[in-house]
Amino acid sequence: MSAQVEEVRLSLPHIELAAHVYGPADGHPVLAVHGWMDNAMSFARLIPKLDGLRIVAVDLAGHGYSDHRPPGTGYLIWDYVYDLLHVANQFGWERFSLLGHSMGAIVSTLLAGTVPERVQRLALIDAIIPHTSKPEAAPQELAAAFESLMAQKGKRRRVHESLEAAIEARVKGKVPLNREASELLAQRGVMPVPGGYIWRTDPRLALSSPLRLTFDQAMAFVRRVTCPVNLIVAEQGYLKRIPHALEPLRGLPIDIVEQPGPHHLHLESEAGAQAVADCFNRFFRTA
C-alpha cells in the first residue's frame, strides 16, 4: 500500500481491532473484510487501484494486529458482523459499502442481509453464501467442536525457526498462496518470539465450527440483501471447486463476473489485482 495509508486502533466496547484507512476523507465509505487466516494486507495490491473510495481495511478479531477473543469464547461468524457494525458506527457511517474476500465476503453478505438499510454496495471476491449444514448434523458438529476446543488446552503454538520458514508455511497452508502474497500477509501477520517466529492468528480460528446455518437460513440472508451486488468468481478459485455453487444465485439480482486466477487473485499478482479493480471501479461508479 502507498504512504497515504493510515494505521488506526479501534477501541470497540468489547474488543480492540486494528485497521488501515485509505483514500480521500470525502470518498465513498467502504469496509474491506479479508478472509480466514489473512489480514488487512490481503488488499495491499487492490486498494491503491480503487478510485474515490474511503476504505477501512480491518484486521478481523484473531487476525493481524487485532486482539484475540477472550478465553472461553470462540470465533462465530456472526460475531464478525457485530464487530463490523461497531466499526462503521465508530466512523460515523450510517450507510456504507462492503468489499469482502472469501470468509470476509460471507461476513459481508451476512451483514448486508442483517441490516440491508445500511449497506449501499456489496463487492465480493470468490464467496457469498455462508457454509451450511443439515439440521440433523447439528448435535454431532457441536460435539466435535467441543472436543476440538478441549484438545486445544495446553497446546503449544508452532514456532518457525526463521521468518523465511514462517512465510513458506503460509505458502503451503490449507489455502495455498504464492510467495509474494505470503510475504505481504506476513508484514502484519508474523511476529518474533523466543526461538523464532509465529503467525499472530489465534490458533482457535482453526477449530471446528460449533453450529452452522442450514441452507434455507443462509439463503434467507442472501435474499434479504437489497443493495447492488457484484460477485467476482475466480476461475481457479473456491467457488469453482464446489459443484453447482452458483445455482442458488440464479434469478437473484447479483452481477456475477468470472476472472482468471486463483482464490486470492486480487493479492497474488498485480495483473489479478488490476482486473478486480477494473471490475469494482465500474461497479462503484454506478453508485
Annotated catalytic sites, by residue?
A: 102
Could you tell me which residues come within 8 angstroms of residue 123 by beta carbon, excluding any fewer than 6 positions away? 30, 97, 98, 99, 100, 230, 280, 283, 284
CA nearest neighbour of 283 among 248, 231, 225? 231
87's enclosing H/E stretch is: helix 77-90
C-alpha count within 13 angstroms, C-beta hemisphere, residue 272: 27
Residue type at position 96:
F
Which DSSP symbol is given to 248?
G
Instruction: Answer yes or no: are the C-beta atoms of 65 and 18 closer than 8 Å.
Output: yes
Please state, in angstroms and rounded to a whole number, the distance separating the CA atoms of residues 65 and 237: 27
Could you tell me which residues come within 8 angstroms of residue 26 by beta carbon, excluding any fewer than 6 positions away? 54
Residue 265: all three cell numbers together: 487473485
Residue 131: all three cell numbers together: 457454509
